[in-house]
Structure 1
């Protein structure tokens, strides 16, 4: 199952921990790293079981799950940049006076008001989540939408794609199958998203590509591989070092 699907289908407790438990492994919801059960893992002269080692992985690779989640695109979290700043300071254990001083806004009563507003947002989120869960049991006509990848650079109507639409787009632009070259590069954003998503899924997770290696891989899909590479980065499927020496999948 695709990492973004695992992420969005995870329970609240799984999201809080940052990983899910599968039959024979633990999978990091933030990057897809797998830790196999039944193996003892060494770290800093100590030995850890798989689940404890997964928690160490998350700490070393991502800092905290909170930092990762609060850093996601605001279209995915529903919180503003100002609210993110407040949440980060609250998470650090700062009191209202310290937060007010650091952000240089209003007074301590202003910060208390922000705390109340965030608590209200939490109550609304719980209610909405409960309604959507109940709706799933009744709405037999709801289309199956593709999950938004966690590293999406821009979240807008282009992500309004159902599984049926995806299949039709892929058939149109990959008439000879998705391992064959593109017929042409799509002119519309939604179609581009589907095509780029398919290309990104064929890249190796966890592999660091040199520019030449990535270019050679992309050539098999479309002659203008530079354009494809640029769009993969723009859409948040691929990231790179500032000097362009290495590229990697972020899906």
Structure 2
């Protein structure tokens, strides 16, 4: 299962802890790093069992699950920019008076009102999730849509693609693993880029030449693929462009 599928299929408890448990592994939902059960992992002279090491990884590499989630696109979180800033300050343990000064808000009662609005949003989210779970038991006709990768930079109608449509697009644009042409429609580009991303190994760092060699095996205009993979938030690179890595 792809990382984006694991992320969106995870329970609230699993999302909160930042990893899932499988038969033989623990897998980070934020980057895909896996630890194997029964293996002892060492870091900085300290040894950890597999689950404790994945927790250590979350702390060291992602700071916290909250930090990762709060940096996701607002179309994924549903938060306004103002709500996002407030949540960050609440999470940091700031007092209402400190937040009032930080955000230049008129009075502490305004902060309390924002807390009330966020609590109302939480209640609404719980009811909505419950209704959606109940709906899944009854709605036998809903199509399966492709997942939105959590590092997406542009979230809009281009993700309105069913699994059946995805399969048709891949068959149309790929021949024996090679991309025959780069599509002009955004939905098709998204599907094609997601397929190309599977050539990249999670956690591996690639030199620019390695990226170019990998992509040239898929399509002759490898620079075009590389640019779109970055634009769509599938891969990232260092500021000088010397190293690349898969983001999700």
- TM-score under structure 1 length normalisation: 0.97
Counterpart in the other structure of 1:90: 90
Matched, 1:184 2:155: no
Q: Is contact 2:208-2:243 (8 Å) kept?
A: yes
The structural deviation recorded for 1:93 is 1.0
Gapped runs of 5+ residues in structure 2? none
Q: Is contact 2:199-2:214 (8 Å) kept?
A: no
Alignment of 1:7-156 (within 5 A): 7-156=7-156
The structural deviation recorded for 1:227 is 1.0
The structural deviation recorded for 1:46 is 2.4
Counterpart in the other structure of 1:249: 246
The structural deviation recorded for 1:48 is 1.7
Counterpart in the other structure of 1:219: 216
Q: Is contact 2:197-2:234 (8 Å) kept?
A: yes
1:97-152 CA deviation, whole Å, 9 max, x = no partner?
11111111221111111100100000000010000000000110000001100100
The structural deviation recorded for 1:212 is 1.2
The structural deviation recorded for 1:191 is 0.2
Structure 1 runs of 4+ aligned residues shifted over 4 Å read none
Please say which of residues 137-146 and 38-47 is displaced more in the overlay. Answer: 38-47
Distance 2:39 2:204 in 1: 23
Where relative contact order (Cα < 8 A, 6+ residues apart) is larger, the structure is: 2
The structural deviation recorded for 1:45 is 2.5
The structural deviation recorded for 1:57 is 0.5
Residue among 207, 210, 214 paired with 2:207: 210
1:28-76 CA deviation, whole Å, 9 max, x = no partner?
0000000111122223322221111111010000001100011111111
1:166-196 CA deviation, whole Å, 9 max, x = no partner?
000001101x23x2x2111101000000001
Instruction: Tell me: CA distance 1:185–1:120, structure 2 relative to 1, closer, same or farther (3 Å).
Output: same
Q: Is contact 2:236-2:244 (8 Å) kept?
A: yes
- TM-score under structure 2 length normalisation: 0.98
Counterpart in the other structure of 2:168: 168
- The SS at the match of 1:126 is helix
